[in-house]
Structure 1
Amino acid sequence: MDYKLDFSVVFDEMPDLLLGALATLGLALAGMTLALIIGILGVAARKSRFCVLRGLVIGFVEIVRNTPFLVQIFFIFFALPMLGLRFNPTVTAIIALAVNGGAYAIEIIRGGVDNIQKGQIEAGLALGLHKAQVFRLIVLKPALRSIYPSLTSQFIMLTLTSSVCTSIAAYELTSVAQIIESDTFRSFEVYFTITIMYLIISWMMMSMFALINRHYFSYPVR
């Protein structure tokens, strides 16, 4: 085997790789934001008194959690246009990430909400708080505090899952790497570099989540 490493190609294409990394971050943050909204609304619907609404949420979670992400993104991109719903690759990627992350977020948040004692809810109502205030202040925030590590780990996994979006030609880090590799045939150098870049992206995400945790979910120090 006579393979000589040459990272000059990677250095020459670094601006494109950095733009791809920024695109990956954009997809991930948009997907995570929508996934969190879906998770919170899904838990509220799951706890409602309407059995049809509860059934729809349960069905949504089971379908998404038991099908591959690749199949989900293909369904949105290739099948929905037959029903008149057509999205460009970037929008499709965000929707797919939001749907996939939202299904897992529903179950994670539900686990935290189920740990809230009924006495706390009754105490909030007895103090005159509206049901929405009880859900936001007494149920949701303590629940998010307890499941925050699991939720953020899932969101980091969602960020890495965004690499699958290259299958529909969405612009992100892996798709840029594939173009560079096909032009230069320097597979090791290109994929070694984006491996490091994904590690950096994950570290940035973990740092951001740690900062949010310190400011919003940590208990005050006496």
Structure 2
Amino acid sequence: MTYKLQFAELLPYWDVLLHGLIFTIVLTIVSTIGGIAVGTAGAAARTFGPKWLDPIVAAYVEIIRNTPFIVQLFFIFFGLPAAGVKLSETAAAFLAMVVNLGAYSTEIIRAGIEAVPKGHLEAAESLAMTRMQILRHVVLKQAFQKIYPALASQIIIVMLGSAVVSQISAEDLTYAANYIQSRNFRAFEVYLVVALLYLLLAIAARAVLRGIGRVIFPKA
């Protein structure tokens, strides 16, 4: 038995694929900004914040890093309504991605903060700088420069993991593939094309992140 490839049958659904592709890109961008913001706040809280805040942030990090992303997503989308918090598929997908990346980036950024030479901190303290001033003007840029490659890799991992949001009918690239194959039954062609699109997305995202890194952290 031979299987005849028929990619032409995907053409009527090009707009569905395009919509899924755009949704995935936007989801990645927004979750990256939100996740890094959460991670920066979490890392700062664990390093410079009050002692009572450290176990709270640590618990958040451990819970997220040691549970499957799909369970986190289902908890937000299916579990929170029981507590009176009902989110749309799109909002739940964005929130789950931000929470997930936030936990991982917290530890990545904290490692960068702890790698900043203590002499720099002592010099800043000798100038009577506040903790926030030290964090903003002395610590963060050095920390991000040290951990940028690891953070960029984590962003790519989270982007590829975003395929899970199709399970709650968020209209990403994987949702588009499921929709198309359920109508034309050309599963091989559909998922091959989508796999290639994810590959191209990952390559493009890595190139963009590398370019951003060269601009923000130029070599001396």
Confirm or deny a common fold (TM above 0.5): yes
Report SS of the residue matched to 1:47: helix
Deviations 1:113-140 (A, max 9, x none): 1111211011123235443222122111
- For residues 112 and 18 of structure 1, what CA distance do their matches in structure 2 show? 38
* Pair 1:25 & 2:25 matched: yes
Question: How far apart are the structure 2 equivalents of 1:121 and 1:216?
Answer: 22
**8 Å Cα contact 1:35/1:102 also seen in 2:** yes
After superposition, give the CA deviation of every residue in 1:125-169 in whole Å (9 maximum; x if it has no partner): 323544322212211111100110000000011111110000000
For residue 58 of structure 2, what is the aligned residue in structure 1?
Answer: 58
Give the partner amino acid of 1:183: R
For 2:82, the equivalent position in structure 1 comes to: 82
- By how many angstroms is 1:16 displaced? 1.6
| Aligned twin of 2:195 | 195
Cα drift, residue 25 of structure 1: 0.5
CA distance in 1 between partners of 2:184 and 2:73 (Å)? 29
Q: How far apart are 1:49 and its partner, in Å?
A: 4.8
| Contact 1:39–1:103 under 8 Å retained in 2 | yes
Unaligned runs of 5+ residues in structure 1 are none
1:134 corresponds to: 134
CA distance in structure 1 between the partners assigned to 2:106 and 2:66 by the alignment: 14
Q: Indicate conservation of the 8 Å contact 1:10/1:193, yes or no.
A: no
**What whole-Å deviation, never above 9, does each CA across 1:57-114 have from its counterpart, x for those lacking one?**
0000000000000000000001101111110000100100011111000011111111
Q: 1:212 aligns to what?
A: 212
Once residues 126 and 177 of structure 2 are traced to their aligned partners in structure 1, the CA distance between those partners, rounded to angstroms, is 58
Query: Is there any run of 5+ residues in structure 2 with no aligned partner, and where?
Result: none
Q: Go from structure 1 to structure 2 and tell me whether the alpha carbon gap of 1:67 and 1:12 turns closer, same or farther (over 3 Å shift).
A: same
Matched, 1:69 2:69: yes
Asked if the contact 1:64–1:100 (Cα under 8 Å) also holds between the matched residues in 2, the reply is yes
Shift of 1:53: 0.7
Q: Does structure 1 retain, via aligned residues, the 8 Å contact 2:48–2:131?
A: no
CA contact (8 A) 1:35 1:105 kept: yes
Correspondence 1:103-118 to 2 at 5 A: 103-118=103-118
| Residue range with higher mean Cα deviation, 65-74 or 3-12 | 3-12
Superposed CA RMSD in Å reads 1.2
CA 1:64–1:197: 2 relative to 1, 3 Å: same
For normalisation by structure 2, the TM-score amounts to: 0.96
Distance of 2:97 and 2:6 partners within structure 1: 35
Matches of 2:66 and 2:150 in 1, distance apart?
Answer: 19
- Aligned match of 1:91: 91
| Cα separation, partners in 2 of 1:48 and 1:134, compared to 1, 3 Å | closer
Which residue number corresponds to residue 146 of structure 1?
146
Q: Distance in 2 between matches of 1:57 and 1:51?
A: 11
Tell whether 2:42 aligns with 1:42.
yes
Paired residue for 1:9?
9
Query: Number of residue pairs matched?
Result: 220
Q: Deviations over 1:3-35 (max 9, x none)?
A: 111000122322221121010001111111110
Q: Secondary structure at the match of 2:107?
A: helix
Q: CA deviation at 1:203?
A: 1.5
- Assess, with a 3 A threshold, how the Cα gap between structure 1 residues 49 and 216 changes in structure 2: closer, same or farther: closer
Alignment-mate amino acid for residue 36 of structure 1: I
